[in-house]
Structure 1
Amino acid sequence: MRIRATVAAVSGALALSALVVPAAQAADSASSYRAEAAKVLHAAHSASGKSAFSTADDGPYAMDVTFSDFKIAAAVKVGTTNHVSTTVTYTMTHGADVDITADDFVTGPYIYRGSFDTPDNMLFGDLPATCTETSASTATCTGKIDVYPSEGELLNSDAGTWKGGALAIAYNGQDPSSDSFDVTKVGYADQGDLGSTLVQRYSKLTVNASPEPVKKGKTITVTGKLSRANWEDNQYHGYTKQPVKLQFRKKGTSTYTTLKTITSDSTGYLKTTTTASVDGYFRYSFAGTSTTPAVNATGDFVDVQ
């Protein structure tokens, strides 16, 4: 299974444990990309004297590659079980001695939580990015960040702001799976703080207005629940003590109007009352937080007689 990144002092935002892949993918190209990249990056960090994972004396050489114009979605909304993938684009600039068209040259984006030198967690793509040369020294690249919440990649405390980074490796004919693999002949580049995104715990919101039908002027009771993904037990639990708006849309119109704001209780439960006036739809609306995205419940129609 996937293993959450270990909190360790590493030079750059990459740790060996962050590149482990699910057992179900052990034979595919994602496994190869991650495992081989992990071996090189691990060696690079060890050679820097900051890695807690190895005692290797030498690492890959520093490659003349930098990254810029890193673009990612403003938020990545992650539930409890489904694989989530988000696209990243960036520009890669390289020296004349770097052949980015080589079959064994790879580059890819990643995002990390915490500081660049000592990240709390990292998320990568299953496959390397694909790049198109735009000049003799630059290329535009497109890759993905792949998230598997059910594989233990995230803790609830990981919700919030993550920073973006990118890496590049030139294997130069070296085979990482071989006993004769010489990492000192491999080129390596890694750069962080290229951008940012919110990794959020997916939210759900329900509503039920009753009785229905109801006589005009009578009381309508509106209940519901605000919940969000728990990445540690892969269930949805109530999001407590959050402001939620009760809104109404008159039948035949398209705009909701806020009637009042209430607060979810200790279980995420919502309950309030209002007076029946005309036919229409009631819903709850949550504006969201940095850790949890905004969500609107599907309107519940009430027939007023």
Structure 2
Amino acid sequence: MRTRATVAALSGALALSALTVPAAQALDAPGARAAKAQLSPFTATSPAKAMADDAQGDTKITNVTVNGGKDIVVGTSLKKTYTVSVTATDPAGIYDGYAFLWHGTDLKDGVDGAMTPAVDHGTCKTVNATTATCSVTLVADPKSTVYGNILAGRWHVFASAVGKDGDYVTKDTYKSSWVKRASRLTTNASPEPVAKGKTVTVTGALTRANWDTDTYAGYTQQSVQLQFRKTGASSYSTVKTVTSDGHGNLKTTVKATADGTWRYAFAGTSTTSSVTSTGDFLDVK
């Protein structure tokens, strides 16, 4: 495990090191020839990669969207592929946009995880003469980029854009995004069927992905809502809150009042995704 974590962290660091290589970048646009000599923050292969927090001219980033605004949720084996879109504006138009996610305290010296695109340029869609939205694809992989539980939580979003006239802007932390451990939840109401007024025992289990061991394990001491939907009703109502035990198990009792479906719902935390179990129908005689 230590070896895998070290290799993954090193790979992220190497990917980021390319950003510090100063080189001029020619742009295929009017006026770019005169400006290209000033583009030293950009690498030779990507005009939209730059040193952190730098700008030249009047290029502006107006919005960055990660995974459609939703958390990035990763289990123990399957890769999560998602898109980061950078919307930017420049009076001369937008030539390129670029983004990646990184985890740590400082982009230069304190990075312990990174998710970078496999390409050097964003795929840009023109909005109008001055604005474009450029997208890149990133991969969260439990075998490499999210190699341990230490990486669950808030990640920084690096974003940059370059205008057709050679102006540019880059931010090491334009915004934050959440990368979370996937969770699972079960529900079982018994006995089935049950006489009206009798006691119903509702059990379940809350587990979450462990990126250190690539397995699911109990999520302990977490508040989980027990919910009920009476047959014929359109929505669930929360009956009580149950706390998972030292193994992630859930257990509580209620009185049987009517036919309906029981389920548990977990709101999630800063490191773990929200989840709602499949409902368990209970026939009340």
Q: TM-score per shorter chain, which class?
A: 0.7 to 0.9
| Gapped regions of structure 1 (runs ≥ 5) | 8-13, 20-37, 45-59, 101-105, 170-187
Task: Determine the structure 2 residue equivalent to 1:260.
Answer: 240
* Paired letter, 1:225: A
Per-residue CA shift, 1:201-232, capped at 9, x if unaligned?
Answer: 11110001111011112111111000111112
Task: Determine the structure 2 residue equivalent to 1:29.
Answer: none
The change in CA–CA distance for 1:93 and 1:277 in structure 2 (over 3 A counts) is closer
Counterparts of 1:67 and 1:142, CA distance in 2: 13
Per-residue CA shift, 1:172-198, capped at 9, x if unaligned?
Answer: xxxxxxxxxxxxxxxx98531111111
Relative to the length of structure 1, the TM-score reads 0.69
Which is worse superposed, 245-254 or 138-147?
138-147
Counterparts of 2:153 and 2:97, CA distance in 1: 26
Task: Determine the structure 2 residue equivalent to 1:148.
Answer: 141
Given the alignment, which residue of 197, 221, 231 partners 1:251?
231
Counterparts of 1:129 and 1:150, CA distance in 2: 25
Relative to the length of structure 2, the TM-score reads 0.73
Task: Determine the structure 2 residue equivalent to 1:235.
Answer: 215
Aligned residues: 243
Task: Determine the structure 1 residue equivalent to 2:34.
Answer: none
Report whether the alignment pairs 1:274 with 2:254.
yes
Counterparts of 1:4 and 1:42, CA distance in 2: 20
> Is the 8 Å Cα contact of residues 245 and 284 (structure 1) preserved in structure 2?
yes
Per-residue CA shift, 1:27-58, capped at 9, x if unaligned?
Answer: xxxxxxxxxxx6743645xxxxxxxxxxxxxx
Which is worse superposed, 60-69 or 78-87?
60-69
Task: Determine the structure 2 residue equivalent to 1:180.
Answer: none
Task: Determine the structure 1 residue equivalent to 2:40.
Answer: 61
Task: Determine the structure 1 residue equivalent to 2:29.
Answer: none
Counterparts of 1:260 and 1:135, CA distance in 2: 52
* Paired letter, 1:264: S
Counterparts of 1:87 and 1:296, CA distance in 2: 25
| Gapped regions of structure 2 (runs ≥ 5) | 23-38, 43-55, 163-167
* Paired letter, 1:15: A
Shift of 1:61: 2.2
Task: Determine the structure 2 residue equivalent to 1:121.
Answer: 113
Aligned ranges 1:48-197 → 2 under 5 Å: 61-63=40-42, 64=56, 67-72=61-66, 73-92=69-88, 100=95, 108-117=98-107, 118-127=110-119, 128-133=121-126, 139-151=132-144, 153-166=146-159, 191-197=171-177
> Is the 8 Å Cα contact of residues 112 and 123 (structure 1) preserved in structure 2?
yes
The change in CA–CA distance for 1:227 and 1:114 in structure 2 (over 3 A counts) is same
Counterparts of 1:301 and 1:132, CA distance in 2: 48
* Paired letter, 1:112: W
